[in-house]
Amino acid sequence: MESIATISGMRSRLKEARREIEKTKPFSTVGFMPTLGYMHEGHMSLIRQARKECDIVVVSIFVNPLQFGQNEDFDKYPRDPERDLKLAAEAGADFVFVPGVKEMYPAPTKTTVVVKQITDVMCGASRPGHFEGVATVVTKLFQIVQPDRAYFGMKDAQQVAVIEQFTADLNMPVHIVRCETLREPDGLAMSSRNVYLNEEERKQALVLSEALGKVQGWADQPGMTIERLERNIRDTIEAAPLTRIDYVEIRTYPGLEPVTSMDQWNGTEPVLVALAVKFGATRLIDNRIFS
Ligand code: PAF
């Protein structure tokens, strides 16, 4: 595995790698997994999936300042580049792209990618500018790596909807692969931010997956309404005293329109139940899609 810090280096090594493969096959496929680093088993499972499906596997590690708000955790976002490189190699990556901020943004960017409507709600409402930062950096990374397939975890379901939207709108020749959320044995969704939780917060964080696990049972109760469903979810989360709910949302997926009736819940469009909850200074998200 090679780690590469420059855009020109990444482009030329990928060109060579593709050329090598195309000596024996008519075309080569590049699988790409952009990350903020501080890898865990969730990242590794995506890399392993890309390894099975593609000839060349590229991972990027870049803590993108554009997607962090002023009072967010850009400076203290957990970083461990050496360990990340080891894990990426173990999972089967061929190249790890590790640009610095100056390489990605040599000057303040005057061009950004803005996705309308679906970025105004949920995490977009709590984190203004976040998805503009994500869409911009993912577009830049796609321009550099030119992947055929790009792998994203469904824990960030809204991010996946945003990426699917701009890649379709802008005719980008990349297939977005939705990958299942990986969970700890007790159900907590894997996240680099889980390291911020103290022992008590970690215990109480289980209410997220517990609440999501009960949703189908509640939905099946006669006379259930969307308001009561949301109330039940909120009550379950709030029973854990350290929680502060940012949002509980019930929306269509991937359109992210509000779901207002059980008829809609039982309709043909998949429904996303998404949670964002703070434990002290740590904000965790989790979701489930019902179809
Ligand atoms: O989900 C992430 O890790 C980031 O938002 C991404 C897609 C790597 C863009 O910086």
The residue-averaged pLDDT of 124-131 equals: 95
Closest residue by Cα to atom 2, ligand 1, is: 35
Residues 140/32, Cβ–Cβ less than 8 Å: no
The residue-averaged pLDDT of 209-230 equals: 98
Q: What is the pTM of this model?
A: 0.96
Query: Helix and strand tally (H, E) in the chain?
Result: 11, 9
Q: Which pLDDT value is given to residue 200? A: 97
Q: What is d(CA 18, CA 30) in angstroms, rounded to the nearest whole number?
A: 8
The two tokens of residue 94 are 């061929």
Residue-averaged pLDDT of the chain: 97
Closest residue by Cα to atom 6, ligand 1, is: 35
Torsion sign over Cα 162, 291, 276, 229: positive
Closest residue by Cα to atom 8, ligand 1, is: 35
Query: What's 282's DSSP letter?
Result: E
Question: What would the 3-class secondary structure string for 94-113 be?
Answer: CEEECCCHHHHCCCCCCCCC
Q: What is d(CA 222, CA 241) in angstroms, rounded to the nearest whole number?
A: 30
| pLDDT of residue 71 exceeding 90 | no
Query: What's 66's DSSP letter?
Result: G
CB-ligand 1 contact for 156 (6 Å cutoff): yes
Among 159, 160, 164, 179, which residue has the most ligand 1 atoms within 8 Å of its CB, making it the best to mutate? 159
Q: Which pLDDT value is given to residue 141? A: 98
Task: Please report how the helices 226-238 and 206-220 are oriented relative to each other, as an axis angle in degrees rounded to 10.
Answer: 150
The two tokens of residue 230 are 């949301």
pLDDT digits (tens, 9 = 90+) for 23-44: 999 999 999 999 999 999 999 9
pLDDT digits (tens, 9 = 90+) for 129-146: 999 999 999 999 999 999
CB-ligand 1 contact for 139 (6 Å cutoff): no
Q: Which pLDDT value is given to residue 73? A: 86
Tokens 């409402």, located at residue: 125
Quick one: which H or E segment has residue 276? strand 271-279
Say which residues have a Cβ less than 8 Å from residue 268's Cβ, sequence separation at least 6. Answer: none
Q: What is d(CA 246, CA 191) in angstroms, rounded to the nearest whole number?
A: 17
Torsion sign over Cα 67, 72, 117, 267: positive
The residue-averaged pLDDT of 147-171 equals: 98
| Residues annotated catalytic, as ranges | 43
Q: Identify which of 147, 112, 148, 146 has the alpha carbon closest to the alpha carbon of residue 132.
A: 112
Closest residue by Cα to atom 1, ligand 1, is: 35
Structural domains of the chain in order of their starting residue, each with its CATH number:
2-179 (3.40.50.620), 192-290 (3.30.1300.10)
CA angle at 76 for the pair 70 and 82, rounded to the nearest 5°: 135
Query: Residue 271's Cα: distance from chain center in Å?
Result: 18
Ligand 1 atom closest to Cα of 63?
Answer: 10
The residue-averaged pLDDT of 73-101 equals: 96
Q: What is d(CA 126, CA 128) in angstroms, rounded to the nearest whole number?
A: 6
Among 66, 131, 137, which residue has the most ligand 1 atoms within 8 Å of its CB, making it the best to mutate? 137
CB-ligand 1 contact for 49 (6 Å cutoff): no
Ligand 1 atom closest to Cα of 36?
Answer: 3
Question: Residue 54 — very low, low, confident or very high, per pLDDT cuts 50/70/90?
Answer: very high
CB-ligand 1 contact for 148 (6 Å cutoff): no
Q: What is d(CA 97, CA 95) in angstroms, rounded to the nearest whole number?
A: 6
